[in-house]
Structures are given as structure tokens and as C-alpha cells.
Amino acid sequence: MADCGNTGCTLDLEWVLSTQVNLPAVKKRAAELGTRRTVKKQWQAAWLLRTVTCIDLTTLSGDDTPANVQRLCHKAAHPVREDLLKAMNMQDKGITVGAVCVYSARVADCVKYLKEAGNPNIAIASVATGFPTGQTHLKSRLEEIHQAVADGATEIDIVINRNYALTGNWQGVYDEVKLMKQACGGAHMKAILATGELGSLTNVYRASITAMMAGADFIKTSTGKEEVNAILPVGLVMVRAIREYYHKTGIKIGFKPAGGVRTAKDSLTWLILMKEELGDDWLNPRLFRIGASSLLIDVERQLYHWTYGRYAADHEFPMA
């Protein structure tokens, strides 16, 4: 049974359309995860280090420059201060983030600067397909994938066609995502559902199943640009869809919450969700990522507190 490398399957519309989400039950379970689970002391430090390895360290701004990307790549290769790693006896474990995530025009910069930072094997994730809206012609979206892969992207974060999803055209969603997967070649594909724009949790489930059937290696909550991004009820529905897909196909699909995950506490809640709903096999960067830009600073501050018994100021943990 494979981790990612999803070959997909024929669209099963009966499966897609037969499921209805029980909203009160989802909200109850999400509230339990958000308020009743906790990790303390040395176990918290270990979980926070695990969080670091699952971060897609992201910059998706209109003013991104090669200099911004250079700082991002150096931080990705050295995400936690050496003194903190030594305190946990983890200085020789090769701790890095899971990936850097940028616009497709900045992929070549990532290749250059990760090599400069001494860790060229960190994954490079490129958003593509008219991110964040997807409101460009399909030909242009596919060409953007091809260019990002040619420039060195090893992962492609695509956006699904929300118009098709909102009008119930699941065949259209499936056909487009399948073409995008083909365009990715050897790169892994994360399908962004933009769940804040899908209208209902039932649509979130249907979009999740459809994207996985079309070959998505990961499903991702959000672009980070919607009004509502990664929230627990949505995450719960998506990981339950992943679990059902795994039970029916034997293929493990990854999950990525993105947008609004800013604190160490938030990240631990998502890790707990993965452990309780999918199991320990999903607690690694092959099957779990968190899309974030500011999260790493808070995680490092919490590790500093665990090490020294006091909190450091934000400026003690710059991006580079």
C-alpha cells in the first residue's frame, strides 16, 4: 500500500453523490478536538519538532522578490536555532521544513537558493493553475504546471474549478484535475479545494473524493486567500474522506490545512486530528503538511520557552 503516488480511479458518481454530511455531529467532534486535547512538557516539544518537519514554508505575495525567496530558503534549511536543537539532542537529525511554497515564477529562485543553503533536497511546491481563483483558461492552467515542473518544482498545488463544484458538475471537476495530474509528470499534486467557497460540508466531502479519484496525492483546504480558510470542521470532513478512500483503494492520500494556522497550539490541534482520525502513519511530511508563513516563529518561541523557561521576543527568530 503506497504513501501518495495516487494513480486515481474511474469517477464513481454514486459514491460522490450518496454521502450527506451530518453538520451537528461534525461540529461536536471538531469542538472536542479543539478544546479537550492537549500535549504537555517534553512530549509537546517533540510534537512541535514534528510540526516543523511538516510545514510548507510559504510566501505568496505580490511583492515577492528573489531576496524574499532567498531568506525563505535559508530558513527552510535551518528552521530551528542550533542551541534549541542541541538542548533536545536533535542537532544531527537533519531537521528541515517539509517544503517551500511559492508562485511558479519563483521556483527557479528556490532551486538556486536551496542549493546555496546546503539542502537542495527540500521539496519545492509551486502554486499553479491560476492560483488563487483558477479563473483562467484550462490551457493556460496546464501550461503553468508544465513550466513550474520544468523550472524544478517537485510538488504542484493546483486549485479546483469552484464553478463546477458549486453547480454539481463533478465530472467536470474530475476531468480537469485528471488533466492537471498528467501535466504534473513526476511531481506530486496537491488539490486545493478552497473550502470556504464551496457552500457546504457536503460539497467539501464530494470535492475531496472527486479530487482523489482524479489522482490528487494530497487534498488541501484553502488557498489562504479566502475569507474562511483552515478550520477544524472542514478538516474533519476531508480526513474522513481520505480514510474512506484508503479503505476502498488501499492508497494513502495526504492532507494539508492552509491559511489561518498561526500558532503552535493550532498546529498541535491539527496533528491530534491526524493521529486520532487517520493514525500514526499520517504523522509525517509524506502525508501531512501545514501551509504557513508565520507559524514557524511561534513554534520556535515555544521551543525556546521549553528550553530556557522564558519566552523570547519575535525578533530573536527572524526569517533568516
Instruction: Enumerate the active-site residues.
Output: 157, 220, 256
Amino acid letter, residue 200 = S
- Residue 272 dihedral angles phi and psi, to the nearest 5°: -65, -40
Q: Are 140 and 174 in contact (CB under 8 A)?
A: no
Integer CA distances (angstroms), 14 to 11, 170, 209, in order: 9, 11, 11
Q: Are 189 and 158 in contact (CB under 8 A)?
A: yes
Side by side, the strands of the sheet bearing 188-192 are 254-256, 218-220, 188-192, 155-159, 123-127, 99-103, 55-58, 290-292
Q: Which element (helix H / strand E) includes 302?
A: helix 295-308
* Torsion, Cα of 182, 226, 317, 102 (10° steps): 30
The whole-angstrom separation of Cα 147 and Cα 139 is 12
Q: Are 239 and 278 in contact (CB under 8 A)?
A: yes
Integer CA distances (angstroms), 70 to 51, 82, 119, 177, 319, in order: 22, 20, 13, 31, 10
DSSP 3: B
Longest dimension (CA), the chain: 56
Reported in sequence order, the residue ranges of the chain that DSSP labels E, i.e. its strands, are 55-58, 99-103, 123-127, 155-159, 188-192, 218-220, 254-256, 290-292
The whole-angstrom separation of Cα 69 and Cα 66 is 5
Amino acid letter, residue 185 = G
